[in-house]
C-alpha cells in the first residue's frame, strides 16, 4: 500500500467534515510515486499528483471527536503485537524512539470501513489514533489504542499501521476487541518500514476472505492498490526494505568479475530453458554483460525474509555458519584438496574422533554457532568437527555394502523419484548416434536371463512388470566429455536394471556404463553384474559407486532443487503479484510458501553458485546447473508433479477405481508411494472442501480475474520457456483449481520432505551415496599398471573413486544442516491459520485434515513394525519415516513442514 494513498491528518487536531479539495491543499502529505527507493517527488509535483488522484476517503477523523446524535459510539481496543527484530538493540536514534514510545507517538493505527458512504458512494473517512506501548514480554511488544467508532461506520475491513520509529518493525498480528461480533483478527506477519521510507504505512485486511467479485465496496481500491504496489514497475535495483515481486532469469550463478573461470551460462530462455527467479535489479557484471553482478545482499521481498523468530533459530544461522565459517575453516587446514581417505576406519573417524579445526577468528567460536556438530575439547579449547552417526549407519555399519540395500533405497531412500518400469526392449538410446555412438544397450536378454535364472524368462519378466530401471544414460552422456576435462572427476552415462521379487524386494541385475566417442576414441560401454568371483564383485562395487554418484547428483539437482525449490518460486511470485492477501486461494497457499524465496536466495549465493558446494562436490561439477536445465527441458511437466500422475508416468502405478487411492501400485511394498498417497489424499480432500466452499458456483472460477491472472502468469512468465506446452491444465472449474492447488501443496510439503529430510540419514555416511566419482573404472582403458594395482588393492581403487576427504567432510556438514528441523518448524496440519479458524466451515475442514495426518502417524508406525513389509522392516533396516507428519527439532529423518524453508 502506498504510504499516502489516504489523507494523513494528525489525530491531535480537532477535525470535522471538510471539503476534500480544501483538505488536499491544506493538510495532505505528499503522495509517493510508484518507484523504487526512498526518493520523493518535489512539493510541486506532489501537489499536482494530488489534484490528479483524489484520495479514496474525504478525511481522516480524530477518534476522540466522533459523535452521533442518536446512538452511542462503540468503544473498541486495538492490540498490536510487534516482535523485536534482531539487531535493533542499539542504534543512533534509539533514544528518540524510546521517548516516542514513552509519549505514545511511535505507532499510528487507522481503522478502515469496508463500506462506502450511501450518499456520496465514496469510501468512508478512516479513524486514526496513536497506539501506546503497553507491555513488553520476551521478544514481543504490545501496543494499544482505544477507539470510539460511530454507529454508521460499518464493518471494519482493514487497518493501517504507520511506523514512526527510526527502525523497521515486525508486526505479528493485530486484534480488535470490543466488537459486537467478537474479536477481529488481522494476521500481519510482516515488516513495516521505518519513517521516511516507503511502506512505513501499511494496510492489513481482516481474516475474512473475499473473491474479487465479492470484495466490499470500501476495500476494492485498497485491494487493487496493494497488488499494484507489490508488482512494482520492473525497473531499478531492488532495495532490502522493498516488497516488490518480479521475474528474472538465472543470470547470477556465475561470478565473472571475480574470475572468468566462474562465468556461467544464463538459465532461462534459449538455449537453457529454466523457471524464473525473483528479480533483484543488480547491475550487470563488468566482465560479462549477460551476467548479473553478485552481492552478499541478495534481495528478496521483505516479507519473504526470515521472521525475527526464524532468524533466531538454528537452521538459518547454522547454514550460514557452515557455508561462511566452517567450510572456509576446513579448506584452510586442508594441505591437499585431492587427498582421499586412506582406509575405511578413517571414514569412521568423522564420527568417532572428528576433525580438528583451526582457531576461530574474530572472537567467535564455531562450536558456539554449531553446537550439534562441533565439540570443544575442554583441555585445549580446540574445536573438533565431529558428526553424530546417521541412523542407517548406527543400525548397521555395513548397510551401504549390501546390494539389497542399494535396491531398497530406490523405493524407501532419499531419491524415490527415479525408478521406472521397463516397458520397451531392447533398451535403446534416443541420442544422435552420429555424435554419441551406437544407441543399442549392451544389456542383452541373455545377461538378464542369466541373472533371473530360476525365476522366469525375460519375456515373462517384461509381461509381468518385473523389470525396473534407473536410467541416467541419455541425460548424462552429453556431459561426459565436458566433465572429464575437469580436474579430479569423471562421468559416464549409466543404466541400472532391477528385478522385482514376489515379496516386493528388488534385486540388482546389471549396470551399464557408457563413454561416448571422445578424443578420437570410439564409444566404450561395459556391463557389470553381481557375479561371485572376486574380480567381478569388486568391479560391480566400483560400478555401483558410479551409479550412486549419478543418483546423488540427479537427486540434488533435479528431484530436490529443480522440482521443489526452483519450480515453486514462480508460484510464490505470481501469488503475491496477482492474488490479494484477502483472496481465499492466497490464504490457502501462503503457508506453503513461507521462507522459500529466502532459502533459494541463500542457495544461489553459496550452494548452487559457481565454485559452490554443488559444483565442487557433486556430479557433474561445473555443469551441474546447466544439467538441471536440460532435465527441466526434457522431463518437467506441471501435470506430472502430482504424486498419482508421477507414479503412473513412471509405470509404478495404474489407475484402478477399486484400489485404495484409485491406484494399483506395480510394487506393493513401495514405502514412499504408500505413505505418500495417504498424505496426497488428505491434501486433496482438504483442498476440495476449501475450494468448493469459496466457489459454490463453478462459473466463479472462470470469472475470478485475480485467479485467472495468477494462473496465466505462472505459465507465461514464471515458466515462460514452457508457456506453449499442451499439457498445462486449464483453469475453468473448481475441479481444475483443486487439482492445481493440490499439486502445489504436495510439492512444497510431501515431495520436498521426502527428498530433503533424509539427506543426512542416507548421505551422512558417504560411501552409501558418494556425491561424486573421481576416477574411471579400471577396465575402461587397457593399462597394465592400473590393472595390477586394482587386482592387488581393489579397496584402494574404490576409495579413490569416492569423494576426497575435503569433499566428503564439506558435504556431510551441509547435509546435516539441510536435514534439520528448526524448533519453530511449521508442520502441515498442526497449527491452524487464523483465517481458517475464523470461518467455521473451513475450521471444521482443517480439523478433519489435521486428524487424518495424525492417523497417518500411526499408520506409518504400524507399517514400520510389520515384518512382511521387507522394504521398511528388517535386521539393521532403518524405518521409513520421511512422510511422518510431525517431528522433534534436529536431524530426525521425519516431519513434513508446510513449506520449503531449508
* Residues with a known catalytic role: 560, 565, 752, 756, 902
**Distance, CA of 39 to CA of 741 (rounded, Å):** 39
What single string gives the DSSP state of each residue in 245-301?
A: --EE-B--S--TTT-GGG--PPBSSSSS----EE---PPEETTEEEEEPP-SS----
Contacts 24+ apart (CB under 8 A), 584-588: 584/209, 584/210, 584/211, 584/690, 584/694, 585/691, 585/694, 585/707, 585/710, 585/737, 585/741, 587/209, 587/833, 587/835, 587/836, 588/687, 588/690, 588/741, 588/745
How many other CB atoms are found less than 10 A from the CB of residue 460? 11
**DSSP-derived secondary structure letter, 716:** I
Q: Tell me the longest C-alpha to C-alpha distance in the chain.
A: 106
Identify which of 877, 869, 882 has the alpha carbon closest to the alpha carbon of residue 665. Answer: 869
Give Cβ neighbours of residue 579 (< 8 Å, ≥ 6 apart): 585, 586, 706, 707, 710
Q: At what angle do helices 794-801 and 534-554 cross, to 10 degrees?
A: 10
How many other CB atoms are found less than 10 A from the CB of residue 501? 14
Give 376-435 as a 3 state SS string: EECCCCEEEECCCCCHHHHHCCCHHHCHHHHHHHHHHCCCCCCCEECCCCCCECCCCHHH
**Distance, CA of 62 to CA of 55 (rounded, Å):** 17
**Distance, CA of 428 to CA of 405 (rounded, Å):** 28
Angle 625-629-631 from CA coordinates, rounded to 5° = 110
**Distance, CA of 165 to CA of 94 (rounded, Å):** 9
Give Cβ neighbours of residue 458 (< 8 Å, ≥ 6 apart): 425, 445, 448, 449, 452
* Strand-pair partners of 132: 144
**DSSP-derived secondary structure letter, 340:** P
**Distance, CA of 452 to CA of 501 (rounded, Å):** 10
Contact 357, 330 (CB under 8 A): yes
Distances in whole angstroms, Cα of residue 782 to Cα of each of 443, 786, 787, 793: 22, 8, 8, 17
Q: Which helix (H) or strand (E) holds 755?
A: helix 752-756
Give 445-501 as a 3 state SS string: HHHHHHHCCCCCCHHHHHHCCCEEEEECHHHHHHHHHHHCCCCCCCCCEEEEEEEEC
Contact 283, 237 (CB under 8 A): yes
For 266-285, b where at least 16 C-beta lie within 10 A, e where not — what string?
bbbeeebbbbbbbbbbbeeb
**Distance, CA of 12 to CA of 128 (rounded, Å):** 10
Task: For the chain, count helices (H), then strands (E).
Answer: 34, 25
**Distance, CA of 501 to CA of 503 (rounded, Å):** 5
- Strand duo 60-62 + 156-163: pairing: unpaired
How many other CB atoms are found less than 10 A from the CB of residue 784? 7
**Distance, CA of 561 to CA of 599 (rounded, Å):** 11
Distances in whole angstroms, Cα of residue 656 to Cα of each of 142, 456, 538, 643, 666: 56, 27, 43, 15, 12
- Strand duo 126-137 + 140-149: pairing: antiparallel
Amino acid at each position: 500500500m502506498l504510504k499516502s494513498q489516504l489523507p494523513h491528518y494528525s489525530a491531535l487536531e480537532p477535525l470535522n467534515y471538510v471539503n476534500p479539495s480544501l483538505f488536499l491543499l491544506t493538510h495532505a502529505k505528499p503522495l509517493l510515486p510508484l518507484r523504487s527507493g526512498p526518493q520523493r517527488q518535489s512539493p510541486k509535483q506532489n501537489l499536482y499528483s494530488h489534484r490528479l488522484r483524489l484520495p479514496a476517503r474525504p478525511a481522516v477523523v480524530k477518534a476522540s471527536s466522533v459523535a452521533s446524535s442518536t446512538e452511542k459510539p462503540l468503544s473498541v481496543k486495538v492490540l498490536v503485537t510487534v516482535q523485536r527484530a534482531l539487531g535493533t538493540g542499539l542504534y543512533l536514534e534509539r533514544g528518540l524512539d524510546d521517548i516516542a514510545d514513552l509519549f505514545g507517538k511511535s505507532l499510528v493505527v487507522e481503522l478502515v470501513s469496508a463500506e462506502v458512504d450511501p450518499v456520496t458512494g465514496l469510501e468512508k473517512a478512516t479513524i486514526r489514533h496513536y497506539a501506546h506501548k503497553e507491555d513488553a514480554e520476551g521478544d514481543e511488544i504490545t501496543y494499544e489504542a482505544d477507539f470510539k467508532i460511530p454507529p454508521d461506520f460499518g464493518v471494519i475491513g482493514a487497518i493501517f499501521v504507520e511506523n514512526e520509529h527510526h527502525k523497521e518493525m515486525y508486526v505479528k498480528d493485530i486484534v480488535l476487541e470490543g466488537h459486537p461480533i467478537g474479536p477481529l483478527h488481522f494476521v500481519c506477519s510482516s515488516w513495516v518500514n521505518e519513517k521516511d521510507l516507503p511502506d512505513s504505512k501499511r494496510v492489513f485486511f481482516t481474516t475474512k476472505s473475499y473473491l474479487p467479485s465479492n470484495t466490499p465496496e470500501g476495500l476494492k481500491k485498497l485491494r487493487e492498490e496493494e497488488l499494484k504496489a507489490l508488482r512494482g514497475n520492473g525497473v531499478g535495483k531492488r532495495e532490502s526494505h522493498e516488497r516488490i515481486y518480479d521475474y528474472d532469469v538465472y543470470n547470477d550463478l556465475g561470478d565473472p568479475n571475480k574470475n572468468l573461470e566462474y562465468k556461467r551460462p544464463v538459465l532461462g530462455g534459449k538455449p537453457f530453458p529454466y523457471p524464473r527467479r525473483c528479480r533483484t535489479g543488480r547491475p550487470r557484471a563488468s566482465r560479462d554483460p549477460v551476467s548479473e553482478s553478485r552481492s552478499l545482499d541478495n534481495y528478496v521481498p521483505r516479507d519473504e525474509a526470515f521472521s525475527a523468530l526464524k532468524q533466531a533459530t538454528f537452521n538459518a544461522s547454522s547454514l550460514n555458519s557452515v557455508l561462511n565459517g566452517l567450510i572456509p575453516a576446513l579448506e584452510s587446514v586442508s594441505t591437499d584438496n585431492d587427498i582421499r581417505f586412506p582406509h575405511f576406519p578413517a571414514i569412521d573417524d568423522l564420527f568417532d574422533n572428528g576433525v580438528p579445526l583451526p582457531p576461530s577468528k574474530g572472537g567467535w567460536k564455531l562450536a558456539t554457532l554449531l553446537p550439534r556438530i562441533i565439540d570443544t575439547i575442554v583441555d585445549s579449547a580446540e574445536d573438533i568437527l565431529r558428526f553424530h552417526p546417521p541412523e542407517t549407519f548406527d543400525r548397521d555399519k555395513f548397510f551401504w555394502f549390501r546390494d539389497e540395500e542399494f535396491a531398497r533405497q530406490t523405493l524407501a531412500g532419499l531419491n524415490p523419484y527415479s525408478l521406472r518400469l521397463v516397458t520397451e526392449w531392447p533398451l535403446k538410446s534416443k541420442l544422435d548416434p552420429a555424435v554419441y555412438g551406437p544407441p543399442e544397450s549392451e544389456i542383452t536378454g541373455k545377461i538378464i536371463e542369466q541373472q533371473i535364472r530360476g525365476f522366469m524368462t525375460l519375456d515373462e519378466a517384461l509381461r509381468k512388470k518385473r523389470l525396473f530401471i534407473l536410467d541416467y544414460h541419455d541425460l548424462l552422456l552429453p556431459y561426459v566429455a565436458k566433465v572429464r576435462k575437469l580436474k579430479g572427476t569423471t562421468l559416464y552415462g549409466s543404466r541400472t536394471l532391477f528385478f522385482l521379487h514376489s515379496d516386493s524386494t528388488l534385486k540388482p541385475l546389471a549396470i551399464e556404463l557408457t563413454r561416448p566417442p571422445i578424443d578420437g576414441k570410439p564409444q566404450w560401454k561395459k556391463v557389470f553384474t553381481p557375479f561371485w568371483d572376486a574380480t567381478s564383485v569388486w568391479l560391480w562395487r566400483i560400478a555401483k559407486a558410479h551409479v550412486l554418484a549419478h543418483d546423488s547428483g540427479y537427486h540434488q539437482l533435479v528431484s530436490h532443487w529443480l522440482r521443489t525449490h526452483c519450480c515453486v518460486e514462480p508460484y510464490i511470485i505470481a501469488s503475491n503479484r496477482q492474488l490479494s492477501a484477502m483472496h481465499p486461494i492466497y490464504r490457502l497457499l501462503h503457508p506453503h510458501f513461507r521462507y522459500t524465496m529466502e532459502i533459494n536466495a541463500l542457495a544461489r549465493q553459496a550452494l548452487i553458485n559457481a565454485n559452490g558446494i554443488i559444483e565442487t562436490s557433486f556430479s557433474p561439477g561445473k555443469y551441474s546447473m546447466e544439467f538441471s536445465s536440460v532435465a527441466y527441458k526434457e522431463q518437467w511437466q506441471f501435470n506430472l508433479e502430482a504424486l498419482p500422475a508421477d507414479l503412473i508416468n513412471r509405470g509404478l502405478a495404474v489407475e484402478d477405481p477399486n484400489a485404495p487411492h484409485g491406484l494399483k501400485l506395480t510394487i506393493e511394498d513401495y514405502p514412499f508411494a504408500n505413505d505418500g498417497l495417504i498424505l496426497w489424499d488428505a491434501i486433496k480432500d482438504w483442498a476440495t472442501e476449501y475450494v468448493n466452499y469459496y466457489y459454490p458456483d463453478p462459473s466463479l472460477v472462470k470469472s475470478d480475474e485475480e485467479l485467472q491472472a495468477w494462473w496465466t502468469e505462472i505459465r507465461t512468465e514464471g515458466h515462460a520457456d514452457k508457456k506453449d506446452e499442451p499439457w498445462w491444465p486449464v483453469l475453468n472449474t473448481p475441479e481444475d483449481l483443486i487439482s492445481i492447488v493440490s499439486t502445489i501443496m504436495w510439492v512444497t510439503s510431501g515431495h520436498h520432505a521426502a527428498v530433503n529430510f533424509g539427506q543426512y540419514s542416507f548421505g551422512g555416511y558417504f560411501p552409501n551415496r558418494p556425491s561424486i566419482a573421481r576416477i574411471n573404472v579400471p577396465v575402461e582403458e587397457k593399462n597394465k599398471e592400473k590393472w595390477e594395482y586394482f587386482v592387488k588393492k581393489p579397496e584402494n581403487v574404490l576409495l579413490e573413486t569416492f569423494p576426497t576427504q575435503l569433499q566428503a567432510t564439506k558435504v556431510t556438514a551441509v547435509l546435516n544442516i539441510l536435514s534439520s528441523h528448526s524448533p519453530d518448524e511449521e508442520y502441515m496440519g498442526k497449527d491452524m491459520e487464523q483465517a481458517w479458524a475464523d470461518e467455521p466451515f473451513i475450521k471444521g475442514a482443517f480439523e478433519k485434515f489435521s486428524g487424518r495426518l495424525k492417523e497417518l502417524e500411526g499408520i506409518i508406525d504400524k507399517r514400520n513394525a510389520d515384518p512382511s513389509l521387507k522394504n521398511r522392516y528388517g535386521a539393521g533396516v532403518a524405518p521409513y519415516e520421511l512422510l511422518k507428519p510431525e517431528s522433534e527439532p534436529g536431524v530426525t529423518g521425519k516431519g513434513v513442514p508446510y513449506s520449503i524453508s531449508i
